[in-house]
Every structure is written in structure tokens, then in C-alpha cells.
A and B are shown apart, each in its own frame.
Chain A
Amino acid sequence: DTAVSQTPKYLVTQMGNDKSIKCEQNLGHDTMYWYKQDSKKFLKIMFSYNNKELIINETVPNRFSPKSPDKAHLNLHINSLELGDSAVYFCASSQGAWGQGLKGEQYFGPGTRLTVT
């Protein structure tokens, strides 16, 4: 059973289009994240949701809109795609509480490689 799954794995689209990436986790975690990995492999947080509530919203263009219909799902919708949006997008999840023996490690999905032409 896949712990954190993302669809699609590859996404090739043209500038100006709107696209969505879906993420699901079956680990029972209460916190989910979107990270962006650029062409130099640098990973940066975009958004974080805890129990369907947005808790982190980094400096991301408002063309990016996350949505969490329930604790197990976190989707990412991108409007008016630009060339600079080409990257690998990772979904991750963790159990928010940590300390006292809990690590709070994050488990990542396989990534979605988005190519904007």
C-alpha cells in the first residue's frame, strides 16, 4: 500500500493553462505539505495544512491554491501556468505532534514533474 500518493506523476502543459495535482495519504497523519523542488534540486515549503486548516503559506504566487477536502487529501491547483513553474512538486505528510519520543518525520509522495512549455 502506497503511504503518500500523488497524481499525476508527469504533467506537461503549455503556458497559460490551469492544472491540478492531487495528493492522498493513508498514514492517518494530521498534517500535509506541498514542497517545490527546482532544477537545482533545492526543496522549499509552499503550503502546510493541519486538520484541513492552512497553517503555512509561504511567499507563493496566488496563482497557486491548495485545497484540503479532508485530513487525508491535499490538492494543488495552479492557474495561468508560467515557464518558471516547471519543477517537481512533492506532497508530504506527518503527524503534527512531536517530542516525547515522537519524531514528526515527514513522508513524501513520489513527486509530480511539471513541465511548462
Chain B
Amino acid sequence: AQKITQTQPGMFVQEKEAVTLDCTYDTSDPSYGLFWYKQPSSGEMIFLIYQGSYDQQNATEGRYSLNFQKARKSANLVISASQLGDSAMYFCAMREGGDTGRRALTFGSGTRLQVQP
């Protein structure tokens, strides 16, 4: 089974509107972290936001927020007030285990977001 599933290969959103990018995950480990990364057309990977499995509140970073629903194993990224510069590939990723566990990230297949003027 896939550990990270992103079901939207591509999304369109109008400038200034909000958009939600979906991510579901699969783990039996009680301790894990969820990350979102942005990859613009220039190719670099930019860290956006993090949610820990024990965090009580949903994470927020500026215009980015994470809608974390633990029981549903979903960690959707919400981008508010979309800007043209938000057009990029977005990856959801998970890190399992505590400090002694696996440290590498498992990535989803990504969602390509296009913001239209």
C-alpha cells in the first residue's frame, strides 16, 4: 500500500482564491511527522509546513495551513489568497518513527497547481 497518496495530479485555482491540496497517509507508527514541500518550475524543493502526529492544533505558516484529521489519516494543505507565484508542484511527505526511527521522507506523487489570473 502507498504510504502517501495525493489523488489530484493537477489543480487550477483563480488568483486570490483559496485552494486545498489533498494528502492521505498510511502508517501504524504513533509517532510521525507530515510535511509539505513546493517545487517550482526552477526545480528546487522548498519546505512549507510541518504537522507532528501529537500536535493538538493544525499547523499554520503565513498563507499556508494544514488541515490535519488524524482519524481519517489526512493532512490537506490549504493555500489562502492564491498568487501567481504559487504555481508549482506540491508534495506531501511523511517521516515515521521517533528519533531512533527511520528519518527519511516518503513522498507522495505530487499535485501540480496552476494559478490563473
Chain A residues with CB under 8 Å of chain B are 31, 33, 35, 40-45, 48, 50, 55-56, 88, 90, 92, 94, 96-99, 103-108, 110-111, 113
Contact = CB atoms under 8 A, between A and B. Distances in A.
B109 interface: yes
Nearest to A88: B43
A98 B33 contact: yes
Given A35-B105, A48-B103, A104-B103, 17 more contacts: A41-B109, A42-B109, A43-B91, A43-B93, A43-B105, A43-B107, A45-B105, A92-B45, A97-B99, A98-B33, A98-B95, A99-B52, A99-B54, A105-B47, A105-B50, A106-B35, A108-B46
B56 to A, nearest CB: 13
A92 B35 CA distance: 14
Interface in B48-91: 50, 52, 54, 89, 91
Contacts, number: 66
Contact of A99 (B37, B45, B47, B98): B98
Nearest to A111: B43
Given A41-B110, A45-B104, A103 B43 contact: no
A96 B102 CA distance: 10
